[in-house]
Structure 1
Amino acid sequence: MQRNGEREWVTFENIEYQTERFSQIGSDYESNRKVIIGNVGNAEVRLISQVDLVDFAVDWLNQNK
C-alpha cells in the first residue's frame, strides 16, 4: 500500500461474518417486498432496491437473533 507516497506493508483484521442466514433473509424479503425477476443472458436475476434490502436485513437480523 502507498501512504504519503511511500510503499509500506500494512495489516488489517479480517472481518468475521456468518453467511448461513442469507438465504432465509432473501426468501423472506421476496415474500414481503417487490422483487422483479428476469434474465440476463442465461442467468436468472432479481431487481431490488439495495437500500430497502439492507434495511430489511438489519430489521430481520435484530428480530431473529
Structure 2
Amino acid sequence: MTQAIGEAAGKVWNALSGNGGATVAELARKTRLSRNVVERALGWLAREDKLVFDRARNVETVRLK
C-alpha cells in the first residue's frame, strides 16, 4: 500500500508541475487515479512539505511550493 501511494504521489507531483494548481477532482481526472488515492497522495506530499493549499470562493486548490 505504501508503495502504491508513493507512486501516486509521483503522478500527482507530475500533474502539478506542469500546472499552477488544481482541485482534487482535476487531479483525479489528469492522473486517472481515484479521488481517494489522490487524497492519500496529497497527504504524502503535504507531509513532505511540498504543497500549498489555497481556498478561494469555497474552492480548494493545491499547488507545488
TM-score (norm: length of structure 1): 0.34
Higher-Rg member (1/2): 1
TM-score (norm: length of structure 2): 0.34
Which one has the bigger helix percentage?
Answer: 2
Of structures 1 and 2, the one scoring higher in RCO (CA 8 A, sep 6+) is 2
